[in-house]
Amino acid sequence: MPRVSFEHIVKKFGALTVLDDLDLTVESGDFLVLLGPSGCGKTTLLNLLAGLADVTSGRIMIGTRDVTDLDPKDRRLAMVFQSYALYPTKTVRGNLRFGLSASKLPREEIDKRIAWAADMLQIGPLMDRRPAQLSGGQRQRVAIGRALVKHADVLLFDEPLSNLDAKLRTEMRMEIKKLHEELGPTVVYVTHDQIEAMTMATRIAIMNGGKIEQFGTPDDVYERPANLFVAGFIGSPSMNLLPATAEDGGRARLADGSLIDLTAYAFDAAPSPGAALVAGLRPEHFTLAAPAEAACRLDLPVRHIERTGSDALLSLAFADRRITVRVTPTDAAHLRTGDRVAVAFPKDRLNLFDARSGRRI
Ligand SMILES: Nc1ncnc2c1ncn2[C@@H]1O[C@H](COP(=O)(O)OP(=O)(O)OP(=O)(O)O)[C@@H](O)[C@H]1O
Ligand SMILES: [Mg+2]
């Protein structure tokens, strides 16, 4: 399978710079997820790779081929569009078949692939309907099927699951992942759903305002966010980001005067005393029983409790803000608003950022 690389890509629409000198390489057989807020340039980047829009400057390579100026049909990839783009006059079967009509495959092979896709996507009973006679979710599955039957080396997906209900989305997530493992194409998959990103990707590129904020494995971006944007973007509920001031002796002081022990922290660059920091504490890493190696212990009043069934989110008052802590429903069962609760945070889960640059330290 070919690797895909974007080299110094700039894309402007008139005066608007949507992608700004972007570099990105997807290794052979990787499942890359482009994750970022609405409008950050995900679809634009995918369209440039597919050849549906022209770069302003820069180069796109698929394997050893420079495809920057190639026609879409010569790029040897298949794409699932955010807007489906099905042929309205063709049936579901016709739509699936159309992508293969120029392929010179034997008829049995075409029929086999169509049957395989129909079965996997649960659209068998819809084969003779036209797109106008389908629900949004059904159209989306046909669009996925049309891309899959091509068995292309490079598969592009633009939010392919956004119109499906929760159960079907989970099923389709697993199917697409399984398919990737079986066929091994290089995949570029766009979403703003971070669960999709974390569960499907071998690599994630987190985009913001036309730039890549971090590129890494799902574990990298979750465990070691490169900056405050990524820290706040990945994780639900999001990471608590608390201003702190570095002190002598491997400590930092939080806004309420309490101390964080930084002695076990693997600094990229240790801060000088007085430096303004931001401490990142994930809600799920707090414990009610103090861990042996606690970075900090806080005793705080409960302002609000949200019970989701599988867990409970405590909103605790801390200086002029709130801290969110995730606990089990059992641990939360006896708690009421106004109670004080002692929580501890383990040393090895700490994230620290420079308050001014926003970068991880
Ligand atoms: N043809 C166009 N002309 C002018 N501006 C455009 C055009 N296409 C996209 N844009 C702008 O480029 C930016 C990036 O758009 P893009 O569609 O790539 O975002 P996205 O990350 O896919 O967002 P979403 O998650 O909402 O789909 C947006 O500000 C958008 O308004
Ligand atoms: Mg988009």
CB 147 within 8 Å of CB 79: yes
Give the three-state DSSP class for 36. coil
By the 10 Å C-beta count (0-12 exposed, 13-18 middle, 19+ buried), 165 is classed as exposed
pLDDT means per 10 residues in the chain (361 residues)?
96 96 96 95 96 97 96 91 89 92 87 92 94 89 90 92 85 86 92 91 96 97 97 95 95 94 92 96 93 91 95 95 96 94 95 97 95
Residues 248, 270: Cα–Cα separation, whole Å: 11
Q: Decide: 138 in ligand 1 pocket, CB within 6 A.
A: no
Give the three-state DSSP class for 186. strand
Instruction: Summarize pLDDT for 94-152 with one digit per residue, the tens.
Output: 999 987 877 788 999 999 999 999 998 889 999 999 999 998 888 888 998 999 898 88
Q: What pLDDT shows up at residue 183?
A: 83
* Residue 41 Cα to ligand 1 middle (Å): 6
* Residue 37 Cα to ligand 1 middle (Å): 11
Count CB atoms within 10 A of the CB of residue 302.
Answer: 18
Candidate of 11, 22, 42, 47 to mutate for ligand 1, largest count of ligand atoms within 8 Å of Cβ: 42
> Ligand 1, closest atom to CA 36?
21
Q: What pLDDT shows up at residue 151?
A: 86
Give the residue from 36, 45, 8, 41 showing the smallest Cα distance to 156: 45
Q: What pLDDT shows up at residue 220?
A: 96
Q: Starting from the edge strand earliest in sequence, which strands make up the sheet with 294-307, in order?
A: 321-327, 312-318, 294-307, 340-346
- The token pair that represents 86 in the structure block: 């099905």
What is the set of domains in the chain, with CATH numbers?
Answer: 4-233 (3.40.50.300), 240-354 (2.40.50.140)
Q: Decide: 43 in ligand 1 pocket, CB within 6 A.
A: yes
Rounded to two decimals, the pTM is 0.90
Say which ligand is closest to the CA of 81.
Answer: 2
- The token pair that represents 81 in the structure block: 């569009």
